[in-house]
């Protein structure tokens, strides 16, 4: 038996002022996207903004449903919208934030497991990493370059390929 340690890297910024202007703006658009959120059940409104390689920004927000699993997270709404509109354009980065009706979000809003898997697929499809920028209403900003920093040992397309049995 051996133990393998995996090194992940998370950037932390005390203020959005310390971010590059374009990234602070992307977070601002994620915050704006919250207005489109439909979250009567969780009362937790998430916004995401996706920057594409042509400079276009596509926003998304969480869309809930009385049949809970039928709803979708803000990140997937934004990515699926962007990729269905521009299938061949690369996703450069995604900014995520959220506001609750019941409390102030003070830590960065990190994507759920299913959204991480979708970000991983998008990276594989375009053969380029995606920068993920995360923030609450208050507090620090976290950013990572590539989903491997949020989803080590990701399940990938290669694992679906048959390998010959001996
Ligand atoms: N949600 C997102 O939209 N993105 C996340 O990263 C975390 C969770 C949504 C799903 C659901 O509508 C609500 O937040 C509470 O889980």
> How does pLDDT run along the chain (166 residues), one tens digit per residue?
999 999 999 999 999 999 999 999 999 999 999 999 999 999 999 999 999 999 999 999 999 999 999 999 999 999 999 999 999 999 999 999 999 999 999 999 999 999 999 999 999 999 999 999 999 999 999 999 999 999 999 998 889 987 666 5
Domain covering 11-159, topology:
Cytidine Deaminase; domain 2 (3.40.140)
Catalytic residues: 75
Q: Is the dihedral of CA 29, 67, 120, 116 positive or negative?
A: positive
Stretch (H or E) spanning 125:
helix 113-126
Write down the pTM of the prediction.
Answer: 0.96
Q: Could you tell which of 30, 66, 74 is best to mutate to test the pocket of ligand 1, judged by most ligand atoms within 8 Å of the CB?
A: 74
Residue spans of the domains in the chain: they are: 11-159
Residue with CA nearest ligand 1 atom 10: 73
In ligand 1, which atom is closest to the CA atom of 63?
Answer: 12
Task: Evaluate: CB of 115 within 6 angstroms of ligand 1.
Answer: yes
Task: Evaluate: CB of 132 within 6 angstroms of ligand 1.
Answer: no
Q: Which of 34, 28, 44 is nearest to 101 (CA)?
A: 44
């Amino acid at each position: 038996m051996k133990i393998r340690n995996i090194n992940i890297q998370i950037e932390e910024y005390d203020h959005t002022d310390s971010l590059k202007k374009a990234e602070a703006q992307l977070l601002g658009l994620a915050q704006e996207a919250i207005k489109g959120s439909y979250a009567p059940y969780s009362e937790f409104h998430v916004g995401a903004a996706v920057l594409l390689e042509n400079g276009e920004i596509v926003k998304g927000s969480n869309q809930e449903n009385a049949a809970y699993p039928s709803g979708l997270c803000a990140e997937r709404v934004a990515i699926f919208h962007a990729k269905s509109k521009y299938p061949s354009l690369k996703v450069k980065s995604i900014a995520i934030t959220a506001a609750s009706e019941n409390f102030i979000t003070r830590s960065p809003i990190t994507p759920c497991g299913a959204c991480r898997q979708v970000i991983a697929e998008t990276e594989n499809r375009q053969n380029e990493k995606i920068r993920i920028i995360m923030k609450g209403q208050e507090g620090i900003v976290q950013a990572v370059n590539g989903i491997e920093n949020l989803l080590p040992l990701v399940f990938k397309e290669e694992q679906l390929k048959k390998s010959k049995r001996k």
